[in-house]
Structure 1
């Protein structure tokens, strides 16, 4: 169900809009001034905005300007509403980024048709933008988008003086796969390789295809040993992967990997240098034996890496500063301000410690709209506080809710509830909440 925010200082107009839009199947939010509208847009997932041109306080045009200055809202469709037919005002609204303009009193059929057109245009625009950023075969970031996201991450890590790791990965003997089994089999291998990457690395790590069989991973807020260990986990998982290429044929592949750490080189917060150094380590891995991870010459013994991998798998929850939360990720989200992060955790507890019961009630009552709002909100805040396992589990439920897969709601929610209870319990214990 798509959500439309209607903003007008006239209560009768809002009532009519709410009635007409709900009858068409939209979820409707309302506000009677620009400030309230901007606040709602910060906290709710809105698909379209109907905005009155003349309002007390922040005018419709000023509200539109503020929206277009927010990168997160740059593609939000906006239709302006006004009783005025002043051509200059209409032109100004369109120049500031309004998608359309409708005069009041509006004709319901005409307004609804324009809303449908604007939403279709938004969907096409998002698909085109996604195509421009995504590798068409593997569905990970293409080279340009990987570089864009990695540069942003490097800039952030440099400001707070936290380490960052970049890995270059190359499929061993990939040409032989194409020559022996054909290019269709090669495409299947590339897809499985990318899928294994997304399974192994964290949701906020940046993954991209940067060449034919070359991939790269940018790991923010990651020590060298942690980055090396993650790549070693991937290498082991890949060599044990059996790939079905059709016609009753299977094959296995390996990868050579180079890992560069920002804090192990002078001027390390430089994308080109990190990529070049990771590529040099990748070349060394291929020269030595292939199916190998190579990094800086600092003493990283295989036994030490294996011990860390084992430790990651068997980690005791009591050793975490906050159970279920990657503390460093959460703190980095507020630029290293630990006191502010504690306040945010307290707010998370206050706002979401009842989410488990509320989501269960929404599932039991088949309240799709309420369920969608609760799950989508929890997913967003889980990521912001560094509760990445909760984020992943809530993300799975969020996808199911958006697709209407009602049969999977309860089993997916059971996973969410367990992780949410762990996170809430950890915050309560650490902050001594009574």
Structure 2
């Protein structure tokens, strides 16, 4: 038995005969459908453009415009592709029926109609529509992450390029590649790696606008196409995503225990103003910038400098490039200044106050961690290290973050042989950060 999945379906009945419309409304409502009625072409298209229509019942012969001409107009508009259309007519003209089916009608019902037959054909058309939508989704969606697959991404970006050329606005394209992802698969297994990919796809989708195009290009590579976006706006969006991922703990099951892992991503970004001609060229250039990001330390966004985002946006491009070049320049020893600054939305005074608080709150962490390790109070040691790791990330002390993370993992796994070596690394990195804060903000300490 055919089973429909939605609780309610909306049927639009179009007929110039009001008595026919009333009869259809009665029969369809009794069968549980929501019904809209239109007695003219104009009102029918108003409904189509403003309301979610699941199926259209269309009379073959209408005054002013025939049902066939309406059918042709509907089929010419891709936004109505998914709507099944059942033609209805009292005529027995076989040529007209064949013409309607060849134009894309899904079925044909004679008038006066048999209610049971009409409802059965209507239901079959809705079931077929649902199966078609599901198959299209499967064909266009990456099975694991549920974002667009490579083929669907390319198709949608090409449509976006056409739209950008028509509307004369810029288009940005970014490539994302998870850093050292093979190590995640090798250490924790592919099931954990898959979970990390799913979580990154969620973060990626949440970081961009609903109408931006997100796709998985292959493996741990993803891409985003941003419509009507300046290079500065695109850069900021990529940075939001990168920082959100960097600070997000991904919970996995490993050796019967729940562990938290952290991953980072490198990003290559390009932008182009109309006329935009070549998707492959933009993707290739974005991939080149991604390579530059990885070659220069990973976990960063690199912007192509040779192209302008749009005519007259030279200032935005120069500012974005300045941000890229400065984003990882340490103003404070041991701290990637721009990362910490971005975490407080660019408020320098607030960031400096946070650095002072870090100095005051964590200045004796080494002493406390060393004492906990000496007393083999590993729970307390892990609490101190885990807290330090999180705060280090928030202020942009990424080398300290990595060192604390390694000691945190060793403490969690009780790998006692590694404690002293990893503790020395944390000591060195924390001392560097504290010294840098002291040198720059001595008057506030």
Shorter-normalised TM range: 0.5 to 0.7
Does residue 70 (structure 1) correspond to residue 41 (structure 2)? The answer is no
1:282 to 283, 286, 290: 290
Q: Is the 8 A contact 2:165 2:275 kept in 1?
A: no
Deviations 1:338-370 (A, max 9, x none): xxxxxxxxxxxxxxxxxxxxxxxxxxxxxxxxx
Q: Distance in 2 between matches of 1:72 and 1:312?
A: 42
Unpaired stretches in structure 2, ≥5 consecutive residues? 1-7, 306-320, 328-336, 348-445
Aligned partner of 1:273 in structure 2 is 281
* CA contact 1:53–1:81 (8 Å) conserved in 2: yes
Deviation of residue 32 (structure 1)? Answer: 1.7
Q: Indicate how the Cα distance of structure 1 residues 105 and 268 shifts in structure 2: closer, same or farther if over 3 A, else same.
A: closer
Q: Aligned match of 1:92 in 91, 99, 102?
A: 99
Residue by residue over 1:132-165, the C-alpha shift from the partner in whole angstroms, topping out at 9 and shown as x without a partner, is 1111111111111111221222233334443222
Task: Give the counterpart of 2:133 among 120, 123, 126.
Answer: 126
Structure 1 unaligned segments of length 5 or more: list them.
314-434
TM-score (norm 1): 0.68
Quote the Cα distance in structure 2 between the aligned partners of 1:307 and 1:205: 26
The aligned counterpart of 1:111 is 118
Aligned residue for 1:403? none
What corresponds to 1:262 in structure 2? Answer: 272
Deviation at 1:34, TM superposition (A): 2.9
Q: Specify the alignment match of 2:330 in structure 1.
A: none
Q: How does 1:122-271 map to 2 (within 5 A)?
A: 122-246=129-253, 247=256, 248-262=258-272, 270-271=278-279
Q: Secondary structure at the match of 1:210?
A: strand
Tell me, in whole angstroms, the C-alpha distance in 2 between the residues paired with 1:160 and 1:65.
Answer: 27
Aligned length: 312
Q: Which moved more, 1:234-243 or 1:143-152?
A: 143-152
* Change over 3 Å in CA distance of 1:96–1:46 after alignment to 2: same
User: What secondary structure does 1:278 align onto?
Assistant: helix
Paired residues of 1:170 and 1:255 also in contact (CA < 8 A)? yes
Q: Are the structure 2 counterparts of residues 66 and 160 from structure 1 closer, same or farther at C-alpha, using a change threshold of 3 Å?
A: closer
**Alpha-carbon separation, structure 2, partners of 1:284 and 1:267:** 26
Question: Which stretch of structure 1 is more off in the superposition, 207-216 or 170-179?
Answer: 170-179
Find the residue that maps to 1:195 and give its secondary structure.
helix
Instruction: Measure, in 1, the Cα distance between the counterparts of 2:239 and 2:33.
Output: 48
1:307 is displaced (CA, Å) by 6.5
Residue 322 of structure 2 aligns to a residue whose secondary structure is coil
Distance 1:91-1:162 versus aligned 2 partners, 3 A rule: closer
Asked whether 1:79 is paired with 2:102, we answer no
Task: Point out the more displaced range, 294-303 or 36-45.
Answer: 294-303
CA contact (8 A) 2:60 2:66 kept: yes
Alpha-carbon distance, 1:249 to partner: 2.6
SS of residue matched to 1:98: coil
User: Could you tell me which of 285, 288, 291 is aligned with 2:299?
Assistant: 291
Deviation at 1:306, TM superposition (A): 7.3
Query: How far does the alpha carbon of each residue in 1:278-299 deviate from its partner, in whole angstroms, 9 at most, with x for none?
Result: 1111111112212121123442
Q: Which moved more, 1:186-195 or 1:281-290?
A: 281-290
Q: 1:36 to 1:245 in 2, by over 3 A?
A: same
For 1:89 and 1:296, the matched residues in 2 are separated by: 58
Distance in 2, matches of 1:83 and 1:96, equals 19
Cα distance in 2, alignment partners of residues 151 and 206 from structure 1: 11
Give CA deviations for 1:54-78 in whole Å, capped at 9, x if unaligned. 1211111111111111111122111
CA shift in 2, pair 1:26/1:196, >3 Å: same
Alpha-carbon distance in 1 for matches of 2:120, 2:275: 56
Distance in 1, matches of 2:234 and 2:271, equals 8
In 1: Cα distance, 2:23 partner to 2:13 partner: 10
- Matches of 2:190 and 2:236, distance apart in 1: 32
1:269, distance to aligned residue in structure 2 (A): 5.3
Q: Which residue of 1 aligns with 2:45?
A: 38
Give the superposition deviation at 1:47: 0.6
Aligned CA distance change for structure 1 residues 305 and 187 (closer, same or farther; 3 Å): closer
Structure 1 CA distance, aligned partners of 2:178 and 2:99?
54
Query: What CA RMSD, in Å, does the superposition of the two structures yield over aligned residues?
Result: 2.3
Q: Which whole-Å deviations, capped at 9, do the CAs of 1:217-240 have from their partners, x for residues lacking one?
A: 111222222222211111111111
